[in-house]
Protein backbone atom coordinates (compact mmCIF):
# COMPACT_ATOMS: atom_id res chain seq x y z
CA UNK A 1 0.00 0.00 0.00
CA UNK A 2 1.27 3.46 -0.88
CA UNK A 3 -0.13 6.62 0.66
CA UNK A 4 0.68 10.07 -0.71
CA UNK A 5 -0.34 13.07 1.39
CA UNK A 6 0.01 16.81 1.12
CA UNK A 7 2.52 18.51 3.37
CA UNK A 8 -0.19 19.95 5.61
CA UNK A 9 -1.22 16.39 6.58
CA UNK A 10 1.94 15.96 8.66
CA UNK A 11 1.23 18.89 10.95
CA UNK A 12 0.21 18.27 14.54
CA UNK A 13 -0.92 14.69 15.25
CA UNK A 14 -1.14 13.84 11.55
CA UNK A 15 2.60 13.34 11.22
CA UNK A 16 2.69 10.99 14.20
CA UNK A 17 -0.26 8.99 12.89
CA UNK A 18 1.21 8.73 9.39
CA UNK A 19 4.58 7.67 10.84
CA UNK A 20 2.77 4.86 12.68
CA UNK A 21 1.28 3.72 9.37
CA UNK A 22 4.64 3.98 7.59
CA UNK A 23 6.18 1.72 10.26
CA UNK A 24 3.86 -1.13 9.21
CA UNK A 25 5.45 -3.57 6.79
CA UNK A 26 4.02 -3.13 3.31
CA UNK A 27 2.92 0.50 3.80
CA UNK A 28 4.92 3.38 2.32
CA UNK A 29 4.06 7.02 2.95
CA UNK A 30 5.34 9.98 0.95
CA UNK A 31 4.67 13.69 1.38
CA UNK A 32 3.97 15.91 -1.62
CA UNK A 33 5.07 19.51 -1.12
CA UNK A 34 4.22 22.00 -3.84
CA UNK A 35 6.52 25.05 -3.69
CA UNK A 36 4.99 28.33 -2.60
CA UNK A 37 3.86 30.68 -5.35
CA UNK A 38 6.24 33.47 -6.32
CA UNK A 39 3.41 35.79 -5.27
CA UNK A 40 3.48 34.40 -1.72
CA UNK A 41 1.21 32.09 0.27
CA UNK A 42 -2.23 31.31 -1.11
CA UNK A 43 -4.60 29.81 1.50
CA UNK A 44 -5.73 26.24 0.73
CA UNK A 45 -3.72 26.18 -2.49
CA UNK A 46 -0.42 24.68 -3.59
CA UNK A 47 -1.38 21.31 -2.10
CA UNK A 48 -2.68 18.07 -3.58
CA UNK A 49 -6.45 18.12 -3.19
CA UNK A 50 -7.08 14.85 -5.05
CA UNK A 51 -8.75 12.22 -2.90
CA UNK A 52 -8.90 8.81 -4.49
CA UNK A 53 -8.14 5.15 -3.98
CA UNK A 54 -7.34 2.46 -6.55
CA UNK A 55 -7.84 -1.20 -5.62
CA UNK A 56 -6.52 -4.19 -7.57
CA UNK A 57 -6.16 -2.17 -10.79
CA UNK A 58 -9.89 -2.62 -11.35
CA UNK A 59 -11.85 -0.56 -8.85
CA UNK A 60 -11.52 3.00 -7.65
CA UNK A 61 -13.05 5.50 -5.27
CA UNK A 62 -13.02 9.24 -5.96
CA UNK A 63 -14.42 11.69 -3.45
CA UNK A 64 -14.42 15.15 -1.95
CA UNK A 65 -13.93 14.00 1.63
CA UNK A 66 -10.63 14.44 3.41
CA UNK A 67 -9.62 11.16 5.04
CA UNK A 68 -10.27 12.21 8.59
CA UNK A 69 -12.95 10.92 10.94
CA UNK A 70 -14.80 14.24 11.06
CA UNK A 71 -15.17 14.38 7.30
CA UNK A 72 -16.57 10.87 7.05
CA UNK A 73 -18.86 11.19 10.08
CA UNK A 74 -19.95 14.82 10.29
CA UNK A 75 -19.96 16.43 6.86
CA UNK A 76 -21.60 16.06 3.48
CA UNK A 77 -19.35 15.01 0.66
CA UNK A 78 -19.66 13.32 -2.70
CA UNK A 79 -18.19 9.93 -3.58
CA UNK A 80 -17.97 8.01 -6.80
CA UNK A 81 -17.26 4.29 -6.86
CA UNK A 82 -15.83 3.15 -10.19
CA UNK A 83 -15.63 -0.40 -11.49
CA UNK A 84 -13.43 -0.70 -14.56
CA UNK A 85 -9.80 -1.18 -15.51
CA UNK A 86 -9.52 1.90 -17.78
CA UNK A 87 -10.56 4.54 -15.20
CA UNK A 88 -8.55 2.78 -12.48
CA UNK A 89 -5.49 2.77 -14.76
CA UNK A 90 -5.84 6.50 -15.44
CA UNK A 91 -6.07 7.26 -11.72
CA UNK A 92 -3.14 4.93 -11.01
CA UNK A 93 -1.03 6.72 -13.65
CA UNK A 94 -1.88 10.09 -12.07
CA UNK A 95 -0.82 8.73 -8.68
CA UNK A 96 2.42 7.28 -10.08
CA UNK A 97 3.40 10.65 -11.58
CA UNK A 98 2.86 12.35 -8.23
CA UNK A 99 4.54 9.54 -6.25
CA UNK A 100 7.72 9.72 -8.37
CA UNK A 101 7.68 13.52 -8.69
CA UNK A 102 10.65 15.46 -7.31
CA UNK A 103 8.05 17.22 -5.14
CA UNK A 104 7.32 13.97 -3.25
CA UNK A 105 9.62 12.79 -0.47
CA UNK A 106 9.52 9.90 1.98
CA UNK A 107 7.83 10.71 5.28
CA UNK A 108 10.41 11.49 7.96
CA UNK A 109 9.19 11.00 11.51
CA UNK A 110 10.06 13.81 13.93
Helix (H, G, I), strand (E, B) or coil at 64: coil
Which CATH number applies to 2-36+48-106? 3.30.870.10
- Determine the average pLDDT of the residues in 1-26: 86
> Could you give the percent of the chain with pLDDT greater than 90?
48
Distance CA 14, CA 24 (A): 16
**Digit-coded pLDDT (tens) for 24-63:** 999 999 999 888 888 888 887 887 778 899 999 999 999 8
Helix (H, G, I), strand (E, B) or coil at 109: coil
Helix (H, G, I), strand (E, B) or coil at 67: coil
- Hey, how many other C-beta atoms are within 10 angstroms of the C-beta on 4? 19
Amino acid sequence: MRILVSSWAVREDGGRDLASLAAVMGIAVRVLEVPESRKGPIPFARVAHAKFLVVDQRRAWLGTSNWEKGYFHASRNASLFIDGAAPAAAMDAFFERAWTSPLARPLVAD
